[in-house]
Amino acid sequence: MKLTRFSAIFATLLLSAAASDTPPNIVLLYSDDAGFADFGFQPNCRDDVKQLTPRISSIAKEGVRLTNGYMSGCVCSPSRAGMMTGRYQGRFGYDNNLPPGTESGLSLEETFGVKRLQKLGYETALIGKWHLGYPDEYHPNKRGFDLFHGLLQGSRPYFPMPKPTPHRVIQRNGKPTDEIGYVTDRLGDAACDFIKANKERPFFVFLSFTAPHGPLQPKPEDAAKLSSIEKKGRRNYAGLLVSLDANVGKVLDCLKSEGLEDNTIVIFTNDNGGQTQLGANNFPLKGKKGQLTEGGVRVPWAIRWPGKIKPGSVIDDPIISLDLVPTFVEAAGAAIEDSWKLDGVPLTQRLQGCEALAERPLFWRQHGSSGNRSMRLGNWKLHHNRKAGLKPELYDLSADIGEKTDLAGKEPEQVKKMLAQLDAWESELTEPLWGPGATK
């Protein structure tokens, strides 16, 4: 009896050790054009939508909220290019949104982070919006995704299209799917199907929702619940948030029911600042999608990693989407190679409560070497609108998160220092391959 009991205990210990050595699954949940103040876990969440995102908010409650989280771009396509490579997208000419039908895409010389995970034994999936290239050689299946279930273009209607174009139809590895159902539901269902089919091996899922990007087409039943919101645009935008939250919840429930939640990193964030013209609210930030002010690049961030991240914790260190690739690789147990020339840093130790990240500059640019540029260093944020011929502006974000008081005149040495760093960084970039500032 004692031997049997000892054997059982030993077997349990072996199984426990094996489980701890299993690389974590990774689920990256990505909303589109949402406002900074439009999720319940955000301290400044607007009252009209505060109760609409309980499942998204649960990620922060069970994990960590990152208060100073950024994207590397202020519009959809460039922000994805930076996040998926771990490199500033200006290094490969990706300052601007990819126009529909463009005969190129994200440089084929760049390696996606998901490709590195694929080589580490991960099964990989992109569910939803791509927006990084249309020709076959730029297709998600060629860039590291075993499964692509989504659309190539940047947006589409939420309801079935009578005659969807090849770049707006929801395809599955190159084959069009039937136009049945509501798009946000279709993407949530596809993510759950992938998770269930691959639960016996490590997987990476990039669930790239189109919600709440326009067009503002909520389900009628969701819009009906929001009659207290007077403005129609805001009400319809909020309806898109309802279906977004429901499908995030669907994925979280799937992880739990399949016994995977304890070994899965779940990240929720948004691709760029909220589009206020379509109902988003970025309070207390200045600006919106398409601008380099805080309202254009600072976004909501929440990460859950059971057993690693203390529930309900908050991290104030400035972080950026470029940090995700090195974080995923390190979490998978692999080394980050210098030859990759990544611009981000791994967050794995910081997420687990280790000391704050070292101060580092974060940079942004749009429309090439004659367009706008900005940077953050510590609490300082510098803006340089060259297109309008304006002088650099300097803000102290610790006291002025809304960027209302320009301190450039009072802090000339700080301006000089940061401009020199901006110049050095920009000297490493190339001109845009398309759009404003392109040389062709």
* Distance in angstroms (rounded) separating the CA atoms of residues 205 and 266: 10
Catalytic residue at 354?
A: no
DSSP summary character for residue 298: B
From 45, 74, 131, 383, active-site residue = 131
* Distance in angstroms (rounded) separating the CA atoms of residues 113 and 123: 13
Peptide bond into 23 cis (omega under 30): no
Yes or no: say if 272 and 79 are a contact pair by the CB < 8 Å rule.
yes
* Distance in angstroms (rounded) separating the CA atoms of residues 113 and 354: 24
Yes or no: say if 351 and 309 are a contact pair by the CB < 8 Å rule.
yes
* Distance in angstroms (rounded) separating the CA atoms of residues 134 and 313: 40
In one letter, which amino acid is 218?
A: P
- Which helix (DSSP H) or strand (DSSP E) does residue 254 occupy? helix 232-257
Catalytic residue at 131?
A: yes
Yes or no: say if 45 and 282 are a contact pair by the CB < 8 Å rule.
no
From 45, 74, 76, 192, active-site residue = 76
In one letter, which amino acid is 207?
A: L
Backbone angles phi, psi at 171, to 5 degrees: -105, 165
Residues taking part in catalysis = 76, 131
